[in-house]
Structure 1
Amino acid sequence: MSPAEPEVALGMPPGIAAVREELTPMLAQYADLCAAHEDALVLFQVGDFYEAFCEAAEVVARICEVTLTERSDSTGEYPMAGIPIDNAAPYLEALLDAGYRVALGDQVEDAAEATGLVDRAITEVITPGTIVEEDLLEAGTTNYVAAVAGGGDEADGADDVDGSPVGLAAIDVATGECLVTAGDGETIATELDRIEPAELLSSPDAPDFTPADADRGWHAHRFDPTAFEPETARERLRPYCAAPDRRFDHEAAIRAAGALLAYAEYTQGDDGPLAYVSRIRRYDPRDHLRLDAAAQRSLELFENRGLGAGDTLFDTLDATSCALGRRRLERWLRRPLVEAEAIRSRHAAVAELADRTLVREGIAETLATAYDLERLVGRISRGRADARDLRSLHATLTAVPEVKSLLAGGSGDGDRETDEPADAPRSDHLRDLHGRLDALSEIGELIDEAIATDPPRETTDGGVIRDGFDADLDDLRATEREGREWVATLEETERERTGIDSLSVGHNQVHGYYIEVTDANRDRVPEDYRRRQTLKNSERYVTPELKRREEEIFAATERAAALEYELFVEVRDRVAAETERVQALADALAELDVLRTFATIAVERDYVRPAVATDPAAPIRIEGGRHPVVERTEPSFVPNDADLPRGSIAVITGPNMSGKSTYMRSVALAVVLAQIGSFVPAQAASLPVIDRLFTRVGAADDIAGGQSTFMREMRELTEILHDADERSLVLLDEVGRGTATTDGKAIARAAVEFIHDELGATTLFATHYHDLIDLETTHERVFNLHFTATREDGTVTFLHRVARGASSSSYGVEVAELAGVPPAVVERSRELVDADSHDDSTPRGSNGDEPPTGSGDPDTEPTDRSLREFLAEEREDGPTEVESTLRELDLARMTPIEALNALYDLQSRVGEGADR
């Protein structure tokens, strides 16, 4: 959803405002609602439609593509457009996408009982970030509205460039989850990109935050400045947490949270606190692996804009059984753990579930019947749940004992090795989950006793409460039932009494019950019949007994309906009182579903449990690692090893399409998977805990943001070089290729040297600048890797295997040929490469540029000097191995990069000889 602004100003339509005093009562009522909600487009209930008038009607007609009509009254004609209430969702979605906030002016009075104008009020303000309607929300997702506030007291070093922390609060109004933190501007920007709120509110003193991805950005707007005032925010927070100053470290966080809750209350039409928002959690971004927008995008965690659109890590992992699990999986993937023991705890739970096949499958099948408890309890607490929502809650509570029994081994297959039945979970994590599975039996029993098995959607239509739940309701229903049974037999009784075979008994909404007799039989009508209605060929009558029965039936029906609704609300309120217990159960079920999903994937896709190292200096070691997404679409995927000492830099060379980027991503994704608690696609893995993961992978212009490919690349590189440290993992792909070759190589070399000398971050550095392979000889923690390929009869085969050392060729012309470049262009390219090889005796890099020759200082060129001295020194005793190799080289047939690699090999061998 793009951060669009509404097309026109909101508030009272000028066409109405200009003649406010002359309006009819209904339009005056509409104008008053518009004036009270100036930040929203008001939709006004008129019967079965939501209507808008004047300029607002033109907006609705254009965006919703509905007919623009006119309304006439004593003051003139007004444009009018409406949408059907029973199918409002797609029209509301269109208005939200256009950047509007929509205020629903519902009838809050029964039109049949109203005297004069039906009373209307704004019952809800729908905004992009505060949607609660199921028709507008995707199942199993999170929809945040966030608020940021600047200023406040300095603390914990969480300061922006001006010396003040920035507060951030985010809430999912549909579920009640609320997160609060504070940090410097950069930290908060990263968190906003991680959270991806649909809507962002800002205090007057807050920095301007721009989404890293404009296509997935938020709707940004200023909210009532007074809501951000410190004392106002504190007062708003107190019903949610008694001591805001003890809960939150920064005044900026208090201001953001208070204003956000004020906005949530306003949009939900509540005068007081939202009872279901009971999980306000203060968190520190440093408690999770930090993944900025660039990392999420390049690792394709949630979005793939390439040819394989839809193939993301989230999609690959999403084998969850219920909406609760799907939402939890997304949260974990956005916030991987950085605490080793917590990671190992999840791994132990996954390992146990992987070993217990029947238990795992039974849990998956049972959880598939679970409804979205988080959203259900939100609707229940807001007083918007219907009887079907309560039955959905009951169905989920009914499944809990079965899940608990399965987890305890009651229906499982026990230990796979001993074949002994397990009577309790072995892992501490699963034991904890087992204890948290509260079936809320008294609530389940209440719902089952009170609510009909298949109730109607409308709670005021009757048939919601079960027979036997309330004696008074049973009596009223009995009276109604007996009356209707008496009426049902009246027709036969009266035919026998009067001898009129055509006599009939009927009912309509205007006249109630009646006895109808044709005009031909009018003289046979008994004296106790009282005329009620005359028709063309018949008369309708009523008797004193029928009138009495009718009054009894209608009175019983009306009283039963009122009592039934009262009973339903009472049951709903009793359930709402247990909101925190329902939310705790939802939390346990969600976590269990994700752990079960990880176990299922581990078994079905041959993932392995990684060893998580406690030592911060431990290396990244992966044996037979695979890319979890690519291997699903490429059956012939080639696994590769990774052995990266902490602080090392692997310079990776090789032709395009050889697998460099896939290899780097597979290493990074193994880290992410391990730290969310999943097993990893490999034969074996030993991983340290990474605190930040940076990527500079891929190239794309940001036209909307005014950034070229190279500028975007440099900005991402800047963030890495400023923020990475020895606990970070850095992925750099083709740094410097967006500018002139000389400049690009210089930037790439300098970046590697800076990471090596200043940051100490473990780094994978893929490049086509083969000149950089000499960094291995000058920097102790730099080493070369390359992707292998073979050439036979002019045909290149990419082996997709990583090996030590540098690549022998970039195979650029061959890749062009594979891509379908016209043969004439391919052949001409080969001619130019050959000419360059023969005409220029100076070895060149893969990009056709002269390799660096050093600074001119003899102290900086020991390798060249030792080569000359070594050859001269050994020549008296006959040709050395190096000299023989030199003589055998066919320089006329070698490509520039092959010549450079041969020289590199000779340098290494000379160095070894000199050392001896």
Structure 2
Amino acid sequence: MSAVTGPPAELAERRDELTPMLQQYVDRCEAHDDALVLFRVGDFYKTFCGIAEAVARRCELTLIEREDSTGTYAAAGIPVDNAAEYIERLLKAGHRVAVADQVEDPSETAGIVERAVTQIITPGTVVDDELLSPDSTYVAAVIGADDAEGPEFAVASVDVSTGECRVAPAADRASAQEEVARVGPAELLAGPGAPNIDAPCPTTDWDDDAFAADATRETLASYADSDRFTAVETRAVGGLLAYAEYTQGDDGSLDYVSRIQRYDPADCLRLDAAALRSLELFENRAGGDRDGDTLFETINETVCALGRRRLASWLRRPLVDRRAIERRLDAVADLSARTLLREELRDRLSAAYDLERLVSRVSRERANARDLRSVAQTLAIVPDLKDALADADADRLQALREDLDELRKVRSLIETAIAEDPPQEITEGGVIRDGFHDELDEVRGTEREGREWVADLEQQERERTGIDNLEVGHNQVHGYYIEVTDSHLDSVPEEYRRRQTLKNSERFVTPELRRREDEILGAAERADALEYDVFREVRAEVAEATDRLQGLADDLADLDALLSLSTVAVGPDFCRPAFHDGDDSLEIEAGRHPVVARTQAEFVPNDADLPAGSVGLITGPNMSGKSTYMRQVGLICVLAQAGGFVPAKSASLTVLDRVFTRVGASDDIAGGQSTFMREMSELTGILHDATEDSLVLLDEVGRGTSTADGLAIARAATEFLHDEIGARTMFATHYHDLTALAGERERVFNLHFTAIRDGEDVTFLHRVDEGPSSSSYGVEVARMAGVPDSVVERSRALVEEGETEANSDPATDSVPTPTKAATDGAGVEAEEAGAGSEPQTPPGQQTLPDIDPNDDTDADVSDEITAELRELDLARTTPLEALNRLQELQDRVSR
């Protein structure tokens, strides 16, 4: 980026020889040497020399040569009317863009037109509609504390387009990293003492002096009382706001940032970057942008931009206060039960404009007349919303109804002052209504009378001169004229003065027409100037209501987000979650993955039961649904704590403090981390930070190293989660040896995903059941994926060879005692049959029911089972396969 910022060397070296315009360009480049300066020249933003070459290449523009008395220079121009498209390309290429606009009227300036940088556009500080998405666009800052007191770091964020500003403490690097991931900024400032943050956005090194204690207190004084914040928080948010001011150009006004929120990350369900990524809350792991591939897009039924951003915020920060969760759920339940109310509210809210961004433009004095009309049209829906909510039962809805501010004076001012359909430009007239301003009406009257006189002139002159084809017209160059064809020139009166000669006619002017023209033009200019001043006064009066307008925007956003959740809640597979104390079990009946179930017509629902402190070990074939199952449990918990109904027949949940995930395999080459190292780093964070109120979802821990090392790590981590932390844990694994932990740890249990093998074919049932799985069916999955037959057959032979060697080893010759969890799914009947007989079956060992030798049916079954047992090749049967085989035989006997 440095190669195309700052003044071009070939210009800077010859500054004194340059024309005044190029000297001004060099000055602006030097003043903003960290940005690419777009210099307004007429209808284009120009760049020169090496910078022009880079801009032309990245924006696919034609490179031209500019020649003047001092030489010839390469130049590239971006059309002012279509600048947003090219600026977006430059931002994506990693540049900041400084826009140097003309701040003087060229027609009124004798010398060089003055230009000033009116805006510095960075990925995190865009405010123009053409560059903004409907979602929040944050710039964030992370800094470290100067001393050991208080939190070690602080994270601040601001959305310059709306004025939303937050700051939070962070106890350590991991907490700072987590909060940055939660914010999801488009740009990150690395302040003094900032830790190394892995951010998926450009990182900007901002001036350290802007984060100094004295400077930040002074900056923050314009926005909030600094006593509300700790020293490190003051420095973080103060330095961030200084940067935001810098990007707004020479005026740097951010008056609308008036409600800076300090919050503790522990006050919401904490989701780190790994959880956000693997649960696919906002981005699918494949990196695509298909609609419905994320939880947010699946539940997003909002009808205005305000609600869309609020719903996203609720998903990023689900609640941990049970009372607040229930209040939100009450509102969703009330709305979901009232179809007519819900549809009426949605219909009204669909007419709401983006009030947050409109207010920011009004405050920055960048709003035009259409923006003000949009504010008024949004205010116009408020009375109807309040009327519709009058019969709502939920406390949250009634509170919203009371809070909805109609701002009647603001609405009346705009509707009285601003034309119903005003032009885009505010300096060319037609903005202010007749009757609003007496002086303006008088000036307009003078202009109108003059134009009416001109309109009547044509007929008067035709009658007076006898020239029947005489015409009165006007153009921008010559003004008003009387046009007479050559065939009637003999009839032209003496007082006519020739103004222009055409091919077949002449144009004239009279003294009275000239006087009227001056009168009309003078009145028009005065009217335009006066109208602009009146508009600015109206806009300033609206800006005085910024706080109230922002409060209304908050309420509209909440209402739209609640409506979105209620619209989703009326689906046939959704229910209201019930919350209980943390010591109870987390139970989900017929749970569904909200995203996958929406795209697959034959989705198989599954139950989940996680008692406090339990660890569920999940085994089964690849592609059977283990990861989907775990994610659906996590998503149901997140959605419930955000205040939404969940995709299940029933859900009895506990309030979680965090959701951890260790899912998927990826490396970080740039960061120097292999797949296994990254896996271990994520596991480290879980083992350090999880609590008994957390939900931990693990998928294949220990897979990136040797089998012995991986199994050891997986077992030790499982034991630690069970013994030391007590977090509810779901662990999907292909290490079948881990299933033995169910017999060694009280709260460890086994689950498996079922499959049916028919020869070489395997059918996945995607159904979870108790007990361990007998196989991962890896070779079969490889064959289904299209691996060459020779490789598949060799793989199968190697598997069989390995199992034969294992079964012939004296150390593995005897079948290990199955765990209680294993027999829960495979030998319940065996336990019941042996409970009252002697000698009793050893704990966990399966037995076949007694067979009556006098029963012919029993005898037939006995003969069949005896034959199958004789044919069973124990040397080629693993212990788990033997257990499953015994289960099948027992089921047949029972039937």
TM-score scaled to structure 2, two decimals? Answer: 0.90
Structure 2: any 5+ residue segments left out of the alignment?
819-833, 850-864, 888-895
Looking at structure 1, the residues matched to 869 and 676 of structure 2 have their Cα atoms a distance apart, in angstroms, of: 39
1:275 maps to 255
Matched, 1:186 2:174: yes
Matched, 1:135 2:130: yes
The 8 Å contact of residues 199 and 219 in structure 1, kept in 2 or not, is answered as yes
SS at match of 1:581: helix
Structure 1: any 5+ residue segments left out of the alignment?
1-5, 159-164, 212-216, 409-422, 855-869, 908-916
The 8 Å contact of residues 803 and 877 in structure 2, kept in 1 or not, is answered as no
Matched, 1:145 2:139: yes
SS at match of 1:302: coil
The alpha-carbon distance between structure 1 residues 273 and 105, as it changes in their structure 2 partners (threshold 3 A), is closer
> Pick from 68, 71, 77: which aligns with 2:63?
68
2:733 maps to 767
The 8 Å contact of residues 817 and 845 in structure 2, kept in 1 or not, is answered as no
The 8 Å contact of residues 659 and 800 in structure 1, kept in 2 or not, is answered as yes
The alpha-carbon distance between structure 1 residues 820 and 16, as it changes in their structure 2 partners (threshold 3 A), is same
2:669 maps to 703
1:341 maps to 323
> Pick from 802, 805, 808: which aligns with 2:774?
808
Matched, 1:201 2:174: no
Amino acid at match of 2:74: P
The superposition leaves residues 473-518 of structure 1 with CA deviations (integer Å, 9 ceiling, x where unpaired) of 2222222222112112212211211122343222222322122334
Q: After the TM superposition, which residues 880-895 of structure 1 pair with which residues of structure 2 at under 5 Å, given as runs? A: 889=869, 892-893=872-873
The 8 Å contact of residues 809 and 898 in structure 1, kept in 2 or not, is answered as no
Amino acid at match of 1:144: Y
2:828 maps to none
SS at match of 1:104: strand
1:677 maps to 643
The superposition leaves residues 510-550 of structure 1 with CA deviations (integer Å, 9 ceiling, x where unpaired) of 32212233444444322322333445554432222212211
Q: After the TM superposition, which residues 356-755 of structure 1 pair with which residues of structure 2 at under 5 Å, given as runs? A: 356-408=338-390, 423=391, 425-535=392-502, 538-613=505-580, 615-755=581-721
Pairwise CA distance, 1:399: 1.4
2:829 maps to none
Q: Percent identity?
A: 61
Amino acid at match of 2:303: S
Looking at structure 1, the residues matched to 77 and 253 of structure 2 have their Cα atoms a distance apart, in angstroms, of: 33
SS at match of 1:200: strand
The superposition leaves residues 250-306 of structure 1 with CA deviations (integer Å, 9 ceiling, x where unpaired) of x11111111111111111125465111112111111111111111111111111133
2:29 maps to 34
SS at match of 1:515: strand
SS at match of 2:755: strand
> Pick from 207, 228, 236: which aligns with 1:247?
228
Pairwise CA distance, 1:875: 9.2
2:108 maps to 113
The 8 Å contact of residues 654 and 786 in structure 1, kept in 2 or not, is answered as yes
1:797 maps to 763
The 8 Å contact of residues 808 and 875 in structure 2, kept in 1 or not, is answered as no
RMSD: 2.8
The superposition leaves residues 572-612 of structure 1 with CA deviations (integer Å, 9 ceiling, x where unpaired) of 11111111111111111111111111111110243111111
Amino acid at match of 2:157: A
1:411 maps to none
Looking at structure 1, the residues matched to 398 and 302 of structure 2 have their Cα atoms a distance apart, in angstroms, of: 21
Looking at structure 2, the residues matched to 220 and 580 of structure 1 have their Cα atoms a distance apart, in angstroms, of: 32
Matched, 1:302 2:268: no
Looking at structure 1, the residues matched to 96 and 810 of structure 2 have their Cα atoms a distance apart, in angstroms, of: 61
The 8 Å contact of residues 332 and 566 in structure 2, kept in 1 or not, is answered as yes
The 8 Å contact of residues 808 and 897 in structure 1, kept in 2 or not, is answered as no
Looking at structure 2, the residues matched to 576 and 567 of structure 1 have their Cα atoms a distance apart, in angstroms, of: 14
Looking at structure 2, the residues matched to 554 and 507 of structure 1 have their Cα atoms a distance apart, in angstroms, of: 12
Pairwise CA distance, 1:904: 10
The 8 Å contact of residues 844 and 851 in structure 1, kept in 2 or not, is answered as no
Amino acid at match of 1:292: D
The superposition leaves residues 325-347 of structure 1 with CA deviations (integer Å, 9 ceiling, x where unpaired) of 11111111111111111111101
The superposition leaves residues 829-887 of structure 1 with CA deviations (integer Å, 9 ceiling, x where unpaired) of 44444444456524899xx9999999xxxxxxxxxxxxxxx9xx98999xx99687999
The superposition leaves residues 603-629 of structure 1 with CA deviations (integer Å, 9 ceiling, x where unpaired) of 02431111112x232221111111101
Looking at structure 1, the residues matched to 810 and 739 of structure 2 have their Cα atoms a distance apart, in angstroms, of: 13
Amino acid at match of 1:95: L
The 8 Å contact of residues 4 and 54 in structure 2, kept in 1 or not, is answered as no
The alpha-carbon distance between structure 1 residues 538 and 833, as it changes in their structure 2 partners (threshold 3 A), is closer
Matched, 1:331 2:319: no
SS at match of 2:107: coil
> Pick from 7, 12, 15: which aligns with 2:10?
15
Looking at structure 2, the residues matched to 59 and 852 of structure 1 have their Cα atoms a distance apart, in angstroms, of: 70
Looking at structure 2, the residues matched to 29 and 626 of structure 1 have their Cα atoms a distance apart, in angstroms, of: 64
Looking at structure 1, the residues matched to 79 and 845 of structure 2 have their Cα atoms a distance apart, in angstroms, of: 88
The 8 Å contact of residues 69 and 80 in structure 1, kept in 2 or not, is answered as yes
Looking at structure 2, the residues matched to 191 and 469 of structure 1 have their Cα atoms a distance apart, in angstroms, of: 51
SS at match of 1:146: strand
Looking at structure 2, the residues matched to 895 and 237 of structure 1 have their Cα atoms a distance apart, in angstroms, of: 77
The 8 Å contact of residues 837 and 894 in structure 1, kept in 2 or not, is answered as no
The superposition leaves residues 718-775 of structure 1 with CA deviations (integer Å, 9 ceiling, x where unpaired) of 1111111111110011111122111111111111011111111110011111111110
Looking at structure 2, the residues matched to 238 and 850 of structure 1 have their Cα atoms a distance apart, in angstroms, of: 76
1:786 maps to 752
SS at match of 1:8: helix
The alpha-carbon distance between structure 1 residues 436 and 883, as it changes in their structure 2 partners (threshold 3 A), is closer
Looking at structure 1, the residues matched to 846 and 452 of structure 2 have their Cα atoms a distance apart, in angstroms, of: 112
Looking at structure 2, the residues matched to 568 and 467 of structure 1 have their Cα atoms a distance apart, in angstroms, of: 13
SS at match of 1:799: strand
Amino acid at match of 2:153: V
2:198 maps to 210
The superposition leaves residues 334-391 of structure 1 with CA deviations (integer Å, 9 ceiling, x where unpaired) of 1111111111110111010011110011111221111111111111111111111111
1:3 maps to none
The alpha-carbon distance between structure 1 residues 717 and 891, as it changes in their structure 2 partners (threshold 3 A), is farther
Looking at structure 1, the residues matched to 360 and 797 of structure 2 have their Cα atoms a distance apart, in angstroms, of: 71
The superposition leaves residues 208-261 of structure 1 with CA deviations (integer Å, 9 ceiling, x where unpaired) of 3222xxxxx1211211222111001100000101x30x2102x11111111111
| Higher alpha-carbon deviation: 142-151 or 315-324 | 142-151
SS at match of 1:88: helix
| Higher alpha-carbon deviation: 302-311 or 782-791 | 302-311
Looking at structure 2, the residues matched to 360 and 195 of structure 1 have their Cα atoms a distance apart, in angstroms, of: 31
The 8 Å contact of residues 621 and 642 in structure 1, kept in 2 or not, is answered as yes
| Higher alpha-carbon deviation: 671-680 or 71-80 | 71-80
SS at match of 2:562: helix
Matched, 1:756 2:722: yes
The 8 Å contact of residues 287 and 337 in structure 1, kept in 2 or not, is answered as yes
| Higher alpha-carbon deviation: 791-800 or 79-88 | 791-800
Looking at structure 2, the residues matched to 205 and 837 of structure 1 have their Cα atoms a distance apart, in angstroms, of: 56
The superposition leaves residues 62-94 of structure 1 with CA deviations (integer Å, 9 ceiling, x where unpaired) of 111111111122221111111000001110011
1:860 maps to none
The alpha-carbon distance between structure 1 residues 882 and 103, as it changes in their structure 2 partners (threshold 3 A), is closer
Pairwise CA distance, 1:672: 0.1
| Higher alpha-carbon deviation: 439-448 or 147-156 | 147-156
2:821 maps to none
Looking at structure 1, the residues matched to 626 and 555 of structure 2 have their Cα atoms a distance apart, in angstroms, of: 40
Amino acid at match of 1:633: T
Looking at structure 1, the residues matched to 167 and 385 of structure 2 have their Cα atoms a distance apart, in angstroms, of: 33
